[in-house]
Amino acid sequence: MAEKIVQTAGRDQLGEFAPMFAHLNDDILFGEVWNEENIDVKTKCIITVVSLMASGITDSSLTYHLQNAKAHGVSKEEIVAIITHATMYVGWPKGWAVFRLAKEVWNEEVPELTEKDRYQNSICFPIGDPNPYGEFFVGQSYLAPVSTEQVPVFNVTFEPGCRNNWHIHHAKSGGGQMLICIGGRGYYQEWGKDAVEMTPGKVINIPAEVKHWHGAAPDSWFSHLAIEVAGEETSNEWLEAVSDEDYGKLK
């Protein structure tokens, strides 16, 4: 028979202030539910970790239950598989948060996330690799294919302050481009017009033969989906860079 679980945290911390809550925690939850024998304790530990993760609880209570899971035989390989599986259903940011706690419990150093990592965790599309068209950008940008069939769609990500050069999408007929902001904050500007701020959900329709640029705000990462509009005899013409003076005037 498994060792009986005994819990006193409720009475130790809240006994006089909230005696009913302490009783429910120590005597009912841990005294009866955790000692119920139809499910083994290791399985209960796993269920509890996943339940707290799904609820977005990543404080000391989750740390306690991760420690409890380890103490009842959940290996590092098992907890990694459990968190990874649950992440597919409850969300990527929750997975990252729980992994950081789990690495501490299983006694491994937790590397600091880079700004790029933190931003990647905030958007649903991959940032991708350094942009092969980087020669036409001021600053660092990244490119990730989202769809290469039917309608080509790419995620373009700009580090803070990064912007592409003025450019034109040429077409004999049709053509142009659509931009859909999916993260951060940036700008779109047509030649001779004021810049338009872009935040998640903002859609920009760019006709063919219009000189324009787009890029990140000085203090924010920025990502947009780029959708090429079908046309006849289409091509892109890259022009001069957006000057620091003009870029500095943006608010």
pLDDT grade for 178, boundaries at 50, 70 and 90: very high
Contact residues for 242 (Cβ-Cβ < 8 A; gap 6+): 138, 163, 165, 166, 213, 215
What are the backbone angles phi and psi of residue 37, rounded to the nearest 5°?
-95, 0
Is 233 exposed, middle or buried, given 0-12, 13-18 or 19+ CB atoms closer than 10 A?
exposed
pLDDT at 9 over 80: no
What are the backbone angles phi and psi of residue 235, rounded to the nearest 5°?
-165, 160
pLDDT digits (tens, 9 = 90+) for 54-90: 999 988 889 999 998 998 899 999 999 999 999 999 9
pLDDT at 161 over 70: yes
Out of 1.20.1250.20, 1.20.1290.10, 1.10.357.10, 3.40.190.10, the CATH code matching 8-106 is 1.20.1290.10
pLDDT digits (tens, 9 = 90+) for 95-151: 999 999 999 999 855 566 789 988 998 898 999 999 999 999 999 999 999 998 889
- State the average pLDDT for the chain: 91
Write down the CATH number for the domain with range 119-249.
2.60.120.10
pLDDT at 50 over 70: yes
Q: How many residues does the chain have?
A: 251
Q: Which of 247, 173, 190 is nearest to 217 (CA)?
A: 247
pLDDT digits (tens, 9 = 90+) for 222-242: 999 999 999 999 999 999 999
Three-state helix/strand/coil letters over 70-121 = HHCCCCHHHHHHHHHHHHHHHCHHHHHHHHHHHHHHCCCCCCCCCHHHHHHC
Question: Is the whole model's pTM more than 0.75, yes or no?
Answer: no
| Domain residue extents for the chain | 8-106, 119-249
pLDDT digits (tens, 9 = 90+) for 194-213: 999 999 999 999 999 999 99
Domain 119-249 in the same topology as domain 8-106: no
